[in-house]
Amino acid sequence: MSILIGENTRVIVQGATGRDGSFHAARMATDGTRVVAGVTPGKGGTQSGELPIYNTVAEAAKEKGADASVLFVPAPYAAAAVEEASNAGIPLIVCITEGIPVLDMISLSRRVRERGQVLIGPNCPGLISPGKCKIGIMPSSIHRPGRIGVISRSGTLTYEVVHALTHAGMGQSTAVGIGGDPIIGTGFIDLLERFEADDGTDAVVLIGEIGGDAEEQAAAFITHSMTKPVVAFISGRSAPPGKKMGHAGAIISGGKGTAVAKVDAFNKAGVPVADTPSSIPSLLAQRLKI
């Protein structure tokens, strides 16, 4: 099993004819994902490689059937494109795009949730259930099918951790990059809940970073509602206050959002926090008693 996606997930690519969109649409298909259509306004009726292109998400979904849409749409148009996917009733929307204005995301992320849809991102690498489905930009070669769930605010740091897991013989059920922006569609707690309920997941790795208090809230949730082991990693321990560390959401402001506070919260919740990415597998092994 896995969460959110599986072998039969049918995927639409919005922004499928752009540089990144066309490259990754092809990559996802090579990696075994059922990529069924692309959407680029004004290019309907054409093909991108073997992928049929439609003008709208609604058209593509009607013709091909779709469970998910992934967006490679430039930032100025990305919020409208998420809204289009939502209006077309797509249950899972994955927004890779970085740089969407925060106020746009507040109302949009709320609307998508109210409709019972799931938005992953923005500013994220997407998600993968190894061997079944990949919706995003991560290199599939480092992943292996398995029973560890991964949730992360980062992209390449997730690859680093997955790489370490795979090396240690720990495959992944699903790995989700939730995005580095202050306002994102799906948070740690939403996914911890899903992993807790997933028969195919034995334990979860949570990769957080400085900024906000999502890690502190996740720690509280784990205390009350998780029976499966969780191991955490926090990046930004050496980040100076008041500086945005790449991600729009990674900033210590007014003494809040520090790595120390997050590590403390996890320690209090009985969640071990790894000092280095490479020590995550051994902490997991201890918790899983393997």
Among residues 167 and 268, whose Cβ is nearest to other proteins?
167
Among residues 23 and 197, whose Cβ is nearest to other proteins?
23
209 part of the interface to other proteins, by CB under 8 A: yes
| Candidate list 15, 130, 149, 249; residue touching other proteins; CB under 8 A | 249
32 part of the interface to other proteins, by CB under 8 A: no
278 part of the interface to other proteins, by CB under 8 A: yes
Among residues 133 and 137, whose Cβ is nearest to other proteins?
137
Among residues 159 and 195, whose Cβ is nearest to other proteins?
159
Among residues 60 and 172, whose Cβ is nearest to other proteins?
172
Distances in Å between the alpha carbon of 103 and those of 18, 34, 83, 110, 171?
26, 33, 14, 11, 38
* Site pattern 139..168 for other proteins (x: CB under 8 A): x--x---------xxxxxxxxx--x-----
Q: Minimum Å distance from CB 246 to other proteins?
A: 3
DSSP assignments along the chain, one per residue = --SS--TT-EEEEETTTSHHHHHHHHHHHHTT-EEEEEE-TT-TT-EETTEEEESSHHHHHHHH--SEEEE---HHHHHHHHHHHHHTT-SEEEE------HHHHHHHHHHHHHTT-EEE-SSS-EEEETTTEEEESS-GGG--EEEEEEEES-SHHHHHHHHHHHHTT--EEEEEE--SSSS-SS-HHHHHHHHHH-TT-SEEEEEEESSSSHHHHHHHHHHHH--S-EEEEEE-TTPPTT---SSTT---BTTBS-HHHHHHHHHHTT--B-SSGGGHHHHHHHHHT-
239 part of the interface to other proteins, by CB under 8 A: yes
Q: Minimum Å distance from CB 217 to other proteins?
A: 6
Q: Which stretch binds other proteins (CB under 8 A): 1-9, 52-60, 133-141, 262-270?
A: 133-141
Q: Which residues are catalytic?
A: 247
Q: Minimum Å distance from CB 157 to other proteins?
A: 3
242 part of the interface to other proteins, by CB under 8 A: yes
Site residues (CB under 8 A) for other proteins? 20, 75-76, 98-104, 106-107, 109-110, 125, 137-139, 142, 152-160, 163, 180, 182-183, 207, 209-210, 212-214, 217, 233, 235-240, 242-250, 253-256, 275-278
